[in-house]
A and B are shown apart, each in its own frame.
Chain A
Amino acid sequence: GGIITQTPKFLIGQEGQKLTLKCQQNFNHDTMYWYRQDSGKGLRLIYYSITENDLQKGDLSEGYDASREKKSSFSLTVTSAQKNEMAVFLCASSIWGGGAEQFFGPGTRLTVL
């Protein structure tokens, strides 16, 4: 088996601040994802990456940047934190694309003051 680790577990920032969330997986999966989870809105895709150094925008990419410098890691940056984006951010990976099971990390809860 494998595991997905997300750091930090809780992230508190000031409005306008640049904040970075990190994700590591040891499944050796090619594809990794970042989702935002808001109450009542399900999981919305922010960015995904199908291989090292690849980046693809999801439905909610505005205001975010991502980086995949290694196969095992995928970072998400909130470029300018806003109070209306307080949410839980989930990282996931899968062995390949949309037909395969996704494995999820425990999440990072973002609070913006």
Chain B
Amino acid sequence: GDSVTQTEGQVTVSESKSLIINCTYSTTSIAYPNLFWYVRYPGEGLQLLLKVITAGQKGSSRGFEATYNKETTSFHLQKASVQESDSAVYYCALGENSGTYQRFGTGTKLQVVP
């Protein structure tokens, strides 16, 4: 089957420090995965942060970046300098153009402290 793994349930980072949230995926059926990061800010609904559909490409949004690495089946989310306003829950997801749904990871709660 298909699955997405986020190893960290919670991450605490000091403001202005760098961040990496790990995401790896596994698929037995999807030839050309599409990869997503969604985010839920406190008090808001879940929303798309960024999406990459081509292996080797990088997506970016709000200062965050993620590179689709087909060799390591990874899509880690990175930011060079986090702000308190980045505190949120981040979900990695796997989909397919010809498919009908996406698989989500378990989510990583990011807390940025002053």
The answer, yes or no, to whether A89 is at the interface (CB within 8 Å) is: no
Instruction: Please tell me if the beta carbons of A99 and B106 are within 8 angstroms of each other in the complex.
Output: no
Q: How far is the CA of A41 from the CA of B96 in the complex (A)?
A: 22
The answer, yes or no, to whether A102 is at the interface (CB within 8 Å) is: yes
Chain A: how many interface residues by the 8 Å CB criterion?
Answer: 27
Instruction: Please tell me if the beta carbons of A48 and B101 are within 8 angstroms of each other in the complex.
Output: yes
- Nearest-Cβ distance from residue B2 to partner chain A, whole angstroms: 10
Instruction: Please tell me if the beta carbons of A99 and B101 are within 8 angstroms of each other in the complex.
Output: no
Chain B binding surface SS class: loop
Instruction: Please tell me if the beta carbons of B106 and A41 are within 8 angstroms of each other in the complex.
Output: yes
Contact residues in A for B99 (Cβ distance below 8 Å): 97-99
- Nearest-Cβ distance from residue A93 to partner chain B, whole angstroms: 12
The answer, yes or no, to whether B48 is at the interface (CB within 8 Å) is: yes
The answer, yes or no, to whether A74 is at the interface (CB within 8 Å) is: no
